[in-house]
Structure 1
C-alpha cells in the first residue's frame, strides 16, 4: 500500500503485529503496533480512498483454517503515537466443507485482495493437486463484522504452479486496471465488469524473474511497485514496473 514515494509494509506469519512505513530506498521511517490484532499469517495489505489500511490475515497453506480475519486500521498518517487500534472483519468461505479438503479441492489459501467501492475483493491461491490454475474471487464488506464471503467468480491463470499461483493484487487509483501477481508473473485486467472481473481483457506478463514476489501496489495508474520476500538467497527488494498500454501478450498454458 502506497503513499507518494513511501510504502506501507507488513511481515509474514510469526513476526510482529506491526506495520512499517519505508521509503523507496528501503529506509524505515515509522513503525506502528497494531492493537487488537495478531499476526497468525499476514499476507497482503490494501487501502481505501479514505486512507484506512486493511491487513489480510488469511494465509492458509494447508487449507485448514477457519479463522480468517482482515484488520481495518485508520490512516497511520494522522496517528500521533506508535499504536493503532484495529477493527476485525472476520469471514469464512461457505463453499469449503472440509478442513483440509481433498488435494484436488485445496483452493482456499489466500494471499491477495484489494478494496473497491466499499467491498474487499479476495482472490484465493490455488494449492490443488493436480494443479488446476484457478483462483476463486470472493467479496466481503469493508466494515467490521463476521461474514460468509460471497463467491463472485474465478480467474484462470495457467497450469504451471511454480508461476501461476496468485500472491498479491491491486487496483489502479482510477479503478480501471486490476493487477494480479505471481512468482515472476503478472496478470493485467482491463475493460472489466464487476464483481466478476475475470471476464475483462486479460494480459499476461512473464516478468523474467523467479524470486518470491509477494506484494504489488500502484504508484500511479500506469506504474506498479513489486516486492519479494526475503529468503536465504535473495529477496527483500522493491521493484518498479511500467505497465504496457493495452498490449496483447500471450501466455502459454491459457
Structure 2
C-alpha cells in the first residue's frame, strides 16, 4: 500500500460529531443519495455505486467529497447494484445481486478493469452469473425472503457473498456463499452461515470488506460492525468474532478498507441526515 500520512493527518482533523464512533470525513456529493458500495484503489481514489433505480455508472470521488470522474459500465445494466470489491490487480467487481423479494433469476457480478486506468467515459464489464442452489421458490412468502444480498468481498480467486435476511419473522441468519471470480455461469456454494443477532433494524448485513493483508473481514449493518480475524477456511466465522455497536443508527450501506486497520463507511441520505463518508479505526 502507498503512504497514508495524509490520511493519518486527516484522522486528527475530523470531528466525531453526532455519529457515535464514526467520524465524518466528507459529505458525499448531493447527486448520490443512495450510495450502496465503496472501494478504495489508492489513498485518493474512492469509487462508489448506487443501487436499484440509478444509472449504470461508477463514480470516482476523493476524500474531500469532490466528484472527479464518471464511467458508464457497458454490458452491465444496474438491476440492483449493492456492493463493490477489488482483487490484487485492482480489477473492480460490482455486485448486481440485490434481490429484496427473492424473485430474481438473473443474479450476477460485473468485473471491470482498474477504472483509474480508463481514459474515456465508458468501461466494459464481464459478467459472472450465479444462482443459489438452495433457492427453489422464486415467489416465496415472507418467511422465505432469504436470498437478498448487499455484501461481498474477493478472497483467493473467489467472491464471498453474504445474504441479507429479510424474512418475517426475522431470524438474524445470513448465508455465506462462494462463487468463482471468473466469467461464466456458476452455482454458488454455501460455505457457512452467520447469526448476526435478533434486532432486524441493526442485524441485517448491508456491506462487507476484507483488509489488504487478508487477515481481517468486516461486515456491517445499520449501526453494527462485525470483525472476523484468525480465520483459515471459507467459513470465516470459524475464527474470532468481535461485535461492535458503532453508536449510530443511520442507513449504513457501504464499507471498505483504506489500510489494514482503517475503514471508510458511507450511508444513504434519509430525510436530512446521512449521505456522508465516514472513517473508523479498528482497535
Question: If the length of structure 2 is used for normalisation, what is the TM-score?
Answer: 0.85
**Aligned residues, how many?**
244
Structure 1 runs not aligned, ≥5 long: 245-254
Partner of 1:73 in structure 2?
112
What RMSD, in angstroms, separates the aligned Cα atoms of the two structures?
A: 0.9
Higher relative contact order (CA 8 A, sep 6+): 2
Partner of 2:88 in structure 1?
49
Partner of 2:43 in structure 1?
4
Q: Deviations over 1:161-186 (max 9, x none)?
A: 00000000000000000000100000
Contact 1:124–1:166 (CA<8 Å) still a contact in 2? yes
Instruction: Map 1:108-127 onto structure 2 (within 5 A).
Output: 108-127=147-166
Distance (whole Å) between structure 2 residues aligned to residue 184 and residue 148 of structure 1: 32
Query: Alpha-carbon deviation of 1:102?
Result: 3.1
Distance (whole Å) between structure 1 residues aligned to residue 179 and residue 253 of structure 2: 22
Spell out structure 1 runs of 4+ moving beyond 6 A. Answer: none
Q: Deviations over 1:2-22 (max 9, x none)?
A: 021321000111111010110
Distance (whole Å) between structure 2 residues aligned to residue 156 and residue 193 of structure 1: 19
Structure 2 runs not aligned, ≥5 long: 1-38
Contact 1:123–1:166 (CA<8 Å) still a contact in 2? yes
1:27 equivalent in alignment to 2:66? yes
Distance (whole Å) between structure 1 residues aligned to residue 227 and residue 253 of structure 2: 16
Q: Deviations over 1:37-77 (max 9, x none)?
A: 11111100000001100000111111111110110000012
Contact 2:83–2:152 (CA<8 Å) still a contact in 1? yes
1:167 equivalent in alignment to 2:197? no
Partner of 1:145 in structure 2?
184
Partner of 1:134 in structure 2?
173
Q: Deviations over 1:116-165 (max 9, x none)?
A: 11100000001111111110000111110011100000011100000000
